[in-house]
A and B are shown apart, each in its own frame.
Chain A
Amino acid sequence: AQSVTQPDIHITVSEGASLELRCNYSYGATPYLFWYVQSPGQGLQLLLKYFSGDTLVQGIKGFEAEFKRSQSSFNLRKPSVHWSDAAEYFCAVGASDMRFGAGTRLTVKP
């Protein structure tokens, strides 16, 4: 069965600092992987996705993620965090029945 683990429940970074959010997946075949962001009181917005090709994928809002099959990971990165990036971030796997991780809450310090 497909599943996703996000090891970090909460991360705090300073504005301007780099960010990496971790995601590990379990999937029987080539995974379809996604990162979503959720602002308070809002639905989820797709940041980026991977299903084949280049293992480094670029998304919206300056985010990128790297697929590493050997580590079963799909970590999200941003070189310089802005205060507006404070939100909940979800990693997800699957296409027809997407499963989500528990989420990582990002706090940005001024």
Chain B
Amino acid sequence: DAGVIQSPRHEVTEMGQEVTLRCKPISGHNSLFWYRQTMMRGLELLIYFNNNVPIDDSGMPEDRFSAKMPNASFSTLKIQPSEPRDSAVYFCASTPGGIRGYTFGSGTRLTVV
């Protein structure tokens, strides 16, 4: 099992540009989560999906953020336009059932200059 796969590992972009982060969950996991980690705010849940359907997006900070899960094996988190305060590490996680705990990807470190 390759685990949760995120790409890219690092992204540096200029303010105002569109950024797309990608995640491939573990096969058979029916829930997927996007988290953002910063020194100031720690780990924040942005959005999560069950069976490809967004359940709770109350953590998405602004309309500039959007997430999709077109099928069970792929999800994207898009920021448009990006701003320097979006700089953070973004994690994707998946689980076959919440009580089993989540499996996290290695994260995407986003730097917006």
A residues apposed to B, CB below 8 Å:
32, 34, 36, 41-46, 49, 51, 90, 94-103
B residues apposed to A, CB below 8 Å:
4, 31, 33, 35, 42-43, 45, 48, 50, 55-56, 91, 93, 97-107
Please give the distance in Å from A92's CB to the nearest CB on chain B: 8
B101–A34 contact, CB under 8 A? Answer: yes
Among B91, B101, B107, residue most surrounded by chain A Cβ atoms (within 10 Å)? B101
B99–A49 contact, CB under 8 A? Answer: yes
CA distance A51 to B31 in the complex (A): 19
Count of A-B residue pairs with CB < 8 Å: 54
A95 and chain B: residue at smallest CB distance = B98
A32–B91 contact, CB under 8 A? Answer: no
In the complex, what residues of B have CB within 8 A of residue A43's CB? 4, 91, 93, 104-107
A49–B101 contact, CB under 8 A? Answer: yes
B43 and chain A: residue at smallest CB distance = A100
In the complex, what residues of A have CB within 8 A of residue B100's CB? 49
B31–A96 contact, CB under 8 A? Answer: yes
In the complex, what residues of A have CB within 8 A of residue B35's CB? 100
A103 and chain B: residue at smallest CB distance = B42
A97–B43 contact, CB under 8 A? Answer: no
In the complex, what residues of B have CB within 8 A of residue A36's CB? 101, 104
CA distance A21 to B45 in the complex (A): 23
A51–B99 contact, CB under 8 A? Answer: yes
Please give the distance in Å from B80's CB to the nearest CB on chain A: 25
